Amino acid sequence: MTFLEKHILRQQQTKTQLCVGIDPDITKIPEYYHSLSNPIASFGKDVVEATSHIATSYKLNFAFYEQYGKLGYEALEKTIASIPKDIITIADAKRGDIGNTSKAYAEAVFTQLNFDAITVSPYMGQDSLEPFLAYESKGVFVLALTSNAGSFDFQRKIVDGKKLYETVIERCMEYNQKGTLGFVVGATHPAELAFIRASVPTVPFLIPGIGAQGGDAKETMDANNGGPAFFNVSRAILYPTMAYPSYKDAVRMKAEEYASLLPTI
Amino acid sequence: MTFLEKHILRQQQTKTQLCVGIDPDITKIPEYYHSLSNPIASFGKDVVEATSHIATSYKLNFAFYEQYGKLGYEALEKTIASIPKDIITIADAKRGDIGNTSKAYAEAVFTQLNFDAITVSPYMGQDSLEPFLAYESKGVFVLALTSNAGSFDFQRKIVDGKKLYETVIERCMEYNQKGTLGFVVGATHPAELAFIRASVPTVPFLIPGIGAQGGDAKETMDANNGGPAFFNVSRAILYPTMAYPSYKDAVRMKAEEYASLLPTI
């Protein structure tokens, strides 16, 4: 089964397009976790338990695990193991290097950790992406137009009469031999999202930026025009500010709120 | 002390500009290591012991550690701990993400693992680079023109009448508030290396691609024109083909050979 087929089956179960992002931050998780042997692993387990009835996918942000060293790596392994097998897992790792090195990164994420998909950076070109695209059942989201302010610095520069991100998309589509390619397109630029979606109507998009970064769920859904998508919400679900009987309840309520804002078409 | 001051002191000791790259590959290391509890850690320790009299710096390739999961992470920690403190350590990790995520990557590499420098990707722009540049004593090598074939796909595209890598260099120089910025420029393009060096004569370059990738030491040295540089050799030192009394001797001989080809000016 391809990662996209798995995703479609899962969307049919949940009726939503919500991707839950897990960015563990020890300074933001409830005090309760601090006394446990691996706070980040326990936090991740609780987030998965609170949201797995409604999440179509999980995006784990590698930086937030790596910042805790060995404990973080252990938490990453435990969290990925706790996710039910019918839910897509995305390694948000932004990898990319020369061919033989990208091959090792693909091995790390797809084989060692058994993620279904990864985010990669296009700057180093074709041979930096091909080792990821060689896996038939794994998804590869190439950074196109990211959600941050820095997306204005290089991604929109005009190259051959087009924006750099358009050139990236066109070239990467040529590398898409197995139909496993997707793009990262930020929710914070809905007009450009609509423009990009029109150019590649059937390619999966990972769309971060809804919630804490300011992207609006409805506007983003409209801009995406029904294309295959992973609408990611991280901080707005992980770190709810409302008072509920328990932290897990608060996370569940927030996830359900976003799931209802992101229905399948 | 800045990372560049540390590097200059070290060059004065060794009289070379050799950066030894460590890319552990279990399929290429001698059989002898396979029976040890952590082959990659033992291999790294031996490489450091065989080369630390002559290496001005070490570049550890994160992908080659990450591909071995938890064992690889442990090997990374052990190898970094085995490197004498007067030698610069470079995390070749090609990181870069939105601001709060890059901050976590910087914490992972500079604080958790205590590397002196890192490689980062520019595609996501200023806020993706600033968290790395905030560390006064740490070096940040931004990918400019890489050593691989894929460098032709995007890095040389014409933007505002200049190549994309030139635009990257110009913009990144504006972010260089603490003088800790450097660039990755591949040894496989000596004419362009000379052109880039002329534009930023005093900025440190990490120059991979000598040896297995085809870059020539003398030609690369000439192109660099005496600018501050880390000339990296990985596979040609790690996996020598000659027969010597021991593997460590073979690695030592290869490192000494490259060190003599890369003298300080």
What pLDDT shows up at residue A189? 95
CB B264 within 8 A of CB B15: yes
CB A71 within 8 A of CB A79: no
Residue A112, both tokens? 């060692």
Residues of chain B in contact with residue A61, where contact means CB-CB under 8 angstroms, are 97, 101, 104
pLDDT digits (tens, 9 = 90+) for A161-214: 999 999 999 999 999 999 999 999 999 999 999 999 999 999 999 999 998 889
Residue A145 to chain B, least CA–CA distance (Å)? 9
What pLDDT shows up at residue B140? 98
pLDDT digits (tens, 9 = 90+) for B77-109: 999 999 999 999 999 999 999 999 999 999 999
Query: Residues of chain B with pLDDT > 90: what percent?
Result: 94
Residue B214, both tokens? 């085809």
For residue B142, pLDDT over 90 is answered with: yes
Query: Residues of chain A with pLDDT > 70: what percent?
Result: 100
A27 contact B CB<8A? no
Query: Is residue B265 very low, low, confident or very high in pLDDT (cuts 50, 70, 90)?
Result: confident
Q: What average pLDDT score do residues B234-254 get? A: 90
Query: Residues of chain A with pLDDT > 90: what percent?
Result: 94
Query: Is residue B242 very low, low, confident or very high in pLDDT (cuts 50, 70, 90)?
Result: confident
Q: What average pLDDT score do residues A30-59 get? A: 97
Distances (CA, A) of B34 to B29, B41, B171: 8, 11, 47
What pLDDT shows up at residue A212? 84
Show which residues of A are catalytic: 94
Query: Is residue B241 very low, low, confident or very high in pLDDT (cuts 50, 70, 90)?
Result: confident
Q: What is the mean pLDDT of chain A?
A: 96
What pLDDT shows up at residue A17? 97
pLDDT digits (tens, 9 = 90+) for B145-196: 999 999 999 999 999 899 999 999 999 999 999 999 999 999 999 999 999 9
What pLDDT shows up at residue B76? 98
Distance in angstroms (rounded) separating the CA atoms of residues A250 and A232:
18
For residue A242, pLDDT over 90 is answered with: no
> Hey, are the CB atoms on B153 and A126 less than 8 Å from each other?
yes
- Ordered domains of chain B (ranges, CATH): 3-261 (3.20.20.70)
CB A132 within 8 A of CB A142: no
pTM value is 0.97
> Hey, are the CB atoms on A67 and B105 less than 8 Å from each other?
yes
What pLDDT shows up at residue A9? 95
B149 contact A CB<8A? yes
Q: What average pLDDT score do residues A121-138 get? A: 98
Distance in angstroms (rounded) separating the CA atoms of residues B98 and B222:
37
Beta strands in A147-215 (DSSP E): 158-159, 162-163, 181-185, 205-207
ipTM for the whole complex: 0.97
> Hey, are the CB atoms on B107 and A168 less than 8 Å from each other?
no
Residue A12 to chain B, least CA–CA distance (Å)? 32
Q: What average pLDDT score do residues A108-121 get? A: 98
CB B39 within 8 A of CB B216: no
Q: What average pLDDT score do residues B2-11 get? A: 93
